[in-house]
Structure 1
Amino acid sequence: MADDAGLNPSRDDFATLLNESLGGRDFMEGQVVKGTIVGLEKDFAIIDVGLKTEGRVSIKEFGAGDEGKP
């Protein structure tokens, strides 16, 4: 794995740690995933999809139902 001092991890070490932190999930940009809304800010919903940190999604993305209004 890393050298004896543990201060210079290899590229493979980093890849292994990254894969472990993602829990084997294969998320891709633009992919729709299920999550739980854990908070609301002024213009954003905070969503937990099971990764290290939560995501922020604009509330506008949820289609508040005001399409077609003048």
Structure 2
Amino acid sequence: MRGLGYFVSIISVMLLGSVAWPSPEDPSWHLPALLAGMATSITGMLLRWAASRKQLHELHAVERRTGA
């Protein structure tokens, strides 16, 4: 479920980014700022997902060692 939640969040970032896409008359810094914001948001979600996978893997390793 957690992975699905992160996937949905990534899709929402893409949808919101498409709505916020700057028009030609917007200042030139809008596009790089939008892309950087989208990229950092998605990167953060992927890092949290990877951390949760690592934590789950470590928990299973402890369970195997202890026979729990």
TM-score, scaled relative to structure 1: 0.23
Higher-helix-fraction structure: 2
Higher-strand-fraction structure: 1
TM-score, scaled relative to structure 2: 0.24
Higher relative contact order (CA 8 A, sep 6+): 2
